[in-house]
Chain A
Amino acid sequence: MSFLEYRVKQAPTGIRKILYMNWPLVVLVTAVASVGFLMLYSIAGGNLDTWARPQMERFAVGMVLMFIVAMVPIWFWRSMAGVAYLVAFVLLLVVEFFGTVGMGAQRWIDLGFIRLQPSEMMKFTLVMVLAAYYDWLDPKRVSRPLYVLIPVLLIVVPTVLVLMQPNLGTSLMLILAGATVMFVAGVSLWYFGAVLALGVSAVIGVFTLRGTEWQFLHDYQYRRIDTFLDPSADPLGAGYNIIQAKIALGSGGWSGKGFMQGTQSRLNFLPEKHTDFIFTTLAEEFGFVGAFSLLGLYALILGFCLVAAWQNRDRFSSLLIIGVAANFFFYIAVNLSMVMGMAPVVGVPLPLLSYGGSAMMVLLVGFGLVQSAHVHRPR
């Protein structure tokens, strides 16, 4: 039975599609986002308008986008993958040369009504194009060098552009998510082993070249790594974030200080408390119980995604779901590791919680793709 046959016969149509969506996922995403609203409200000192309301509005817009994307058949998205990737790539180039500099990095294009971050767009268009590529590619050939080189280039070229902005966090995410799609698509483990070995030697290279003209990273990126390795060396300078974040977390204890009672974040000891470090406020106010529950919610979202990918017999859909889930997962993993002092401070937000419109909307569009794949799955 060919793919074309059953998709026409059995895919739900019209408004009924809504019933076939992965509702547990919708509920879980809404639940996590609501935790975010609560925290933003608390961090603003009980003020809804500072961060919580704008975030809720964006979430609402994002949810609408998610439903729209979910209603569009997955084969449409597959056919759009290449175009979307190209558009995002061109925008990346544009931002490289004409973008607005914010926080020392060229990251967005100001279109007047919205600030477009092409690097955010690239996160899912990359996943889409990779999924489409492996759907097109004969599974027997996935490990052939030429067919490995193509997706590697698809990943590396935009990554380099993002890295030049410079945006270490997002470029890291692009590589990790892309690699995950390749991994699940069945690329031989040898390649991954080789890349890993290369990565280790690159790290060594990065450090040995430090201070020379050939150094890979910006000084601030080096400092972030230094600070990660020994936060106490500069407690009021670069190490401040990590130490204060750990204090906030640790002082939360088992059950936390209570909603709106977090002294660390409310008294401004925490930097970036409403964006990258939002988890510390949650951990401080709701303690281990709250923090672990959030981790549980995240794990459930990931679990539902993986199950959806597993159940889906369409290769493109599976890989797309895996790609979105991997993206989601790596954001969580890197952000939490960073906040808990297990990784250097790289500017990576906590998905669905951190304040920031672009990331939130892009993520919801990503979940829209997951829903679309789920609704239009072969039955």
Chain B
Amino acid sequence: MKRTAREAEESNRTLNRRTLMLGGAMGAMVAVLGARMRYLQVDQADQFKLLAEENRINIRLIPPERGIIMDRNGKVIAGNEQNYRVVITREAAGDVDLVMRRLAAIIPMTAEELQASIDQVKSLRAFVPVTVAERLSWDDFSRVAVNAPALPGVVPEVGQSRRYPLDTDFAHVVGYVGPVSEKDLADLESPDPLLRIPKFQIGKIGVEKWMEETLRGEAGTKRIEVNSAGRVMRELERREGTPGKDIRLTIDAEVQNFAQARLGEESAAVVVMDVTNGDIICCASSPSFDPNLFVRGISHAEYNALMENDHRPLANKTVSGAYPPGSTFKMVTALAALEAGVATPDTRVSCPGYIEFGGRRFHCWKRSGHGTVRLSRSLSESCDVYYYEIAQKVGIDKIAEMGRKLGLGRKFDIPMSAITEGNMPDKAWKMARHKQEWRIGDTINASIGQGYVLASPLQLAVMTARIASGRQVLPRLVRMVQGRELPVPEAPALDIAPEHLAAVRKGMHEVVNGDNGTAKSSRIVEPTLAMAGKTGTSQVRNISKAEREAGVISNDQLPWHRRDHALFVGYAPYDNPRYAVSVVVEHGGGGSTAAAPIARDVILRALSDGLPPLNAYPASQRARIETMLRELPLRDPVTGRPPARSAT
């Protein structure tokens, strides 16, 4: 092909021109790319830097160590124990089935557990560690560690879990912890993010629940670097949290253990209170249960057994049980009458065994009557008619006012669950509650602590403490937080004339120490420890007409759930009150026989360093008491272990 030089020159010029245009276009594109780079990397750098940081940094919470709950002397009631557990990561394990089978051969694990663990490991992402066994013994745990080379992906870990070494003794007071439920989260306005950690445990009832904020502490955080799949690459920074605060209760664990053992299998409650400052020394409800079961995860069978027991082991009878106080209420009626001026300690009332009112007959417990009764004897022999008479004069509103003054019908602010208000009825209450006028018969019933009157063992203990001390003592359950004593403001004096209180106390002294006192068999003979008190027997049934016609049936002949409640309130020592006690034995029969002996034993235990001194008991009872005390299933004071029981 021939071309002239001119043509070649021409075409070459075109080519060069176009090349130049192309170069210009390329240059422009490069400039655009450069500008875009500048925009992204310089102008918008800060924004993207933030996004990149969020991408890779993940903040994880470190659960704080939960505060320890101790008794007043520092004995651990709720502690944290090392929880030896085994964690497996599928990614590192390789053949999960093989590794898990090897693991199951060296630690206790049922076939179902094994299969469940394998399924769980396989269902989660490969790098997610799964806990396959918990609460291993040290031996099992070390076996896993020793066999580590044969168990790829298996990591023995040490965590913390709650433990209640005194198990049944404090189940009701301290309660237990459990995993956070949806309801727990819904109840809180802005739940601590900690609560969303899987398997995190919070207090469910009792002190564990009501002191939750104090005990929980604050979460630490660790900043970890993750990749897009969420796998942890490394830990960047760690900020330790604040452990929860330790708490010391006012309760003496040894007295509590004694009381719990003394109550035995009865459905009963005991409260012991320090009358000088309101410290609750003992707050026992029986039967009890082992809170450790709930921490571990209670089985259906165990739970149903607790629920179906007619002695209601789960209920905290000391604060949740509302009982008709029966004759233990008579001090209130007496003080109301004395304060109102309608009676003096010397006012005489004749007791023929009953009074008639509006065509209805109200019986005294003693059908034959007490004859002429004054205040002291009305208490010591528990004459009902005396109170029927004076109550009509003073009126229910004054009685209710006195009841409230002494601590009845109100809820005390202590960190326990299901605290009842009880009931201190008056005219306005009945109108509001039942839309009915208050009748005089209601007053007569209320005067001896029956009818609408309801009180918990705690309230009865407070009432007794106030009578004994003459001060508006308030119950207190927490003594120290993180080693710092909580201040106890001195309780102001009760607005009751001291001579009236003295008269009632004298009557209470006669109840236990008088020749005809209803609780004389439960007296304390050691003068420095002498006890004053009041028995009570409260009906839980209406005596039917047929029963009345057949004559009074003794309690023993009735089915358990229809027997009377036995009550006793008291304090000791009489001349220098230290502790008030209240005892309720559900369906226990008479207060003098079922409740008063328990009250005596427990208050003596509180007053002494060890077991109740035998010389405090009447000589004739010592042998029996000694045997009884020896056979009590008490814990070893040092190890806290319960006694080895024969097969029960």
Q: How far is the CA of A268 from the CA of B232 in the complex (A)?
A: 12
Q: Write the A275-318 contact mask toward B (1 if CB under 8 angstroms, else 0).
A: 00000000100011001100100110011001001100101001
Are A337 and B18 touching (Cβ within 8 A)?
no
Q: How far is the CB of B3 from chain A (nearest CB, A)?
A: 7
Are A263 and B41 touching (Cβ within 8 A)?
no
Which of A184, A253, A315 is within 8 Å of B18, CB to CB? A184
Q: B413 contacts which chain A residues (CB < 8 A)? A: none
Q: How far is the CA of A136 from the CA of B3 in the complex (A)?
A: 11
Are B40 and A263 touching (Cβ within 8 A)?
no
Q: How far is the CA of A95 from the CA of B21 in the complex (A)?
A: 37
Q: How far is the CA of A344 from the CA of B392 in the complex (A)?
A: 96
Interface residues of A in 175-223 (CB under 8 A from B): 180, 183-186
| B33: Cβ under 8 A from any A Cβ | yes
Are B15 and A250 touching (Cβ within 8 A)?
no
Are B41 and A183 touching (Cβ within 8 A)?
no
> If the complex has contacts A247-B48, A322-B19, are A139 and B33 also in contact, measured as CB distance less than 8 A?
no
Are A340 and B19 touching (Cβ within 8 A)?
no
Are B37 and A288 touching (Cβ within 8 A)?
yes
Which of B34, B40, B53, B228 has most chain A Cβ within 10 Å?
A: B40
Q: Write the B1-29 contact mask toward A (1 if CB under 8 angstroms, else 0).
A: 10100010011101110111111001101
Which of B18, B22, B33, B227 is within 8 Å of A333, CB to CB? B33
Q: B49 contacts which chain A residues (CB < 8 A)? A: 250-251, 253
Tell me the nearest residue of chain B to A263, going by C-beta: B56
Are A336 and B33 touching (Cβ within 8 A)?
yes
Which of A184, A251, A283 is within 8 Å of B15, CB to CB? A184
Q: How far is the CB of B2 from chain A (nearest CB, A)?
A: 9
| B528: Cβ under 8 A from any A Cβ | no
Q: How far is the CA of A246 from the CA of B14 in the complex (A)?
A: 41
Q: A313 contacts which chain B residues (CB < 8 A)? A: 12
Which of B15, B30, B34, B55 is within 8 Å of A185, CB to CB? B15
Q: How far is the CA of A140 from the CA of B11 in the complex (A)?
A: 8
> If the complex has contacts A139-B14, A299-B30, are A253 and B41 also in contact, measured as CB distance less than 8 A?
yes
Q: How far is the CA of A342 from the CA of B40 in the complex (A)?
A: 11
Q: A140 contacts which chain B residues (CB < 8 A)? A: 7
| B36: Cβ under 8 A from any A Cβ | yes
Q: B33 contacts which chain A residues (CB < 8 A)? A: 295, 333, 336-337, 340
Are B48 and A250 touching (Cβ within 8 A)?
yes
Tell me the nearest residue of chain B to A249, going by C-beta: B40
Are B41 and A249 touching (Cβ within 8 A)?
yes
Q: How far is the CB of A256 from chain B (nearest CB, A)?
A: 9
Q: B52 contacts which chain A residues (CB < 8 A)? A: 247-248, 250-251, 263-264
| A329: Cβ under 8 A from any B Cβ | yes
Are A251 and B26 touching (Cβ within 8 A)?
no
Q: How far is the CB of B51 from chain A (nearest CB, A)?
A: 5
Q: A302 contacts which chain B residues (CB < 8 A)? A: 23, 26, 30
Are B15 and A315 touching (Cβ within 8 A)?
yes
Are A268 and B19 touching (Cβ within 8 A)?
no
Are A306 and B48 touching (Cβ within 8 A)?
no
Q: How far is the CA of A264 from the CA of B34 in the complex (A)?
A: 22
> If the complex has contacts A250-B51, A254-B42, A267-B233, are A138 and B1 also in contact, measured as CB distance less than 8 A?
yes
Are B18 and A186 touching (Cβ within 8 A)?
yes
Are B48 and A186 touching (Cβ within 8 A)?
no
Tell me the nearest residue of chain A to B39, going by C-beta: A340
Tell me the nearest residue of chain B to A270, going by C-beta: B228
Are B34 and A292 touching (Cβ within 8 A)?
yes
Interface residues of B in 49-68 (CB under 8 A from A): 49, 51-53, 55-56
Are A287 and B48 touching (Cβ within 8 A)?
no
Q: How far is the CA of A247 from the CA of B1 in the complex (A)?
A: 58
Are B38 and A306 touching (Cβ within 8 A)?
no
Q: How far is the CA of A8 from the CA of B226 in the complex (A)?
A: 66
> If the complex has contacts A250-B44, A268-B229, are A295 and B37 also in contact, measured as CB distance less than 8 A?
yes
Q: How far is the CA of A367 from the CA of B362 in the complex (A)?
A: 122
Are B228 and A268 touching (Cβ within 8 A)?
yes
Q: B45 contacts which chain A residues (CB < 8 A)? A: 250-254
Are A183 and B48 touching (Cβ within 8 A)?
no
Are A267 and B37 touching (Cβ within 8 A)?
no
Q: How far is the CB of A182 from chain B (nearest CB, A)?
A: 10
Q: B44 contacts which chain A residues (CB < 8 A)? A: 250
Tell me the nearest residue of chain A to B29, going by C-beta: A333
| A269: Cβ under 8 A from any B Cβ | yes
Q: B228 contacts which chain A residues (CB < 8 A)? A: 267-269
Q: How far is the CA of A319 from the CA of B12 in the complex (A)?
A: 11
Are B51 and A251 touching (Cβ within 8 A)?
yes
Tell me the nearest residue of chain A to B225, going by C-beta: A267
> If the complex has contacts A302-B26, A306-B19, A340-B37, are A250 and B12 also in contact, measured as CB distance less than 8 A?
no
Q: How far is the CA of A186 from the CA of B29 in the complex (A)?
A: 22
Q: How far is the CA of A315 from the CA of B16 in the complex (A)?
A: 10
> If the complex has contacts A267-B226, A268-B229, A269-B56, are A310 and B40 also in contact, measured as CB distance less than 8 A?
no
Are B7 and A310 touching (Cβ within 8 A)?
no
Q: How far is the CA of A263 from the CA of B20 in the complex (A)?
A: 42
> If the complex has contacts A249-B40, A251-B49, A269-B56, are A183 and B22 also in contact, measured as CB distance less than 8 A?
yes
| A364: Cβ under 8 A from any B Cβ | no
Are A288 and B56 touching (Cβ within 8 A)?
no
Q: A39 contacts which chain B residues (CB < 8 A)? A: none
| A126: Cβ under 8 A from any B Cβ | no
Q: How far is the CB of A201 from chain B (nearest CB, A)?
A: 23
| B648: Cβ under 8 A from any A Cβ | no
| A326: Cβ under 8 A from any B Cβ | yes
Q: B30 contacts which chain A residues (CB < 8 A)? A: 295, 298-299, 302
Tell me the nearest residue of chain B to A136, going by C-beta: B1
Are B38 and A288 touching (Cβ within 8 A)?
yes
| B639: Cβ under 8 A from any A Cβ | no
| B47: Cβ under 8 A from any A Cβ | yes
Q: How far is the CA of A268 from the CA of B53 in the complex (A)?
A: 14
Q: B1 contacts which chain A residues (CB < 8 A)? A: 136, 138
Q: How far is the CB of A328 from chain B (nearest CB, A)?
A: 10
Q: How far is the CA of A277 from the CA of B418 in the complex (A)?
A: 64
Q: How far is the CB of B78 from chain A (nearest CB, A)?
A: 43
Q: A342 contacts which chain B residues (CB < 8 A)? A: 36
Interface residues of B in 40-99 (CB under 8 A from A): 40-42, 44-45, 47-49, 51-53, 55-56
Tell me the nearest residue of chain B to A184, going by C-beta: B18
Tell me the nearest residue of chain B to A309, going by C-beta: B19
Are B22 and A180 touching (Cβ within 8 A)?
yes
Are A186 and B41 touching (Cβ within 8 A)?
no
Q: A139 contacts which chain B residues (CB < 8 A)? A: 3, 7, 10-11, 14
Are A269 and B29 touching (Cβ within 8 A)?
no
Tell me the nearest residue of chain A to B12, going by C-beta: A313
Q: How far is the CA of A254 from the CA of B176 in the complex (A)?
A: 57
> If the complex has contacts A246-B48, A322-B19, are A291 and B227 also in contact, measured as CB distance less than 8 A?
no
Q: How far is the CA of A268 from the CA of B45 in the complex (A)?
A: 20
Q: A295 contacts which chain B residues (CB < 8 A)? A: 30, 33-34, 37
List 16 interface pairs A-B (beta carbons < 8 Å), by A numbering. Answer: A139-B14, A184-B15, A251-B53, A252-B45, A254-B45, A263-B55, A267-B227, A283-B41, A288-B37, A288-B38, A288-B41, A295-B30, A318-B19, A322-B19, A322-B22, A340-B37
Q: A264-B55, A295-B34, A342-B36 are in contact. List 8 more A-B contacts (CB 8 A).
A: A139-B10, A251-B49, A251-B53, A252-B45, A253-B41, A267-B228, A269-B55, A295-B33
Residues of B at the A interface (CB closer than 8 Å) are 1, 3, 7, 10-12, 14-16, 18-23, 26-27, 29-30, 33-34, 36-38, 40-42, 44-45, 47-49, 51-53, 55-56, 225-229, 233
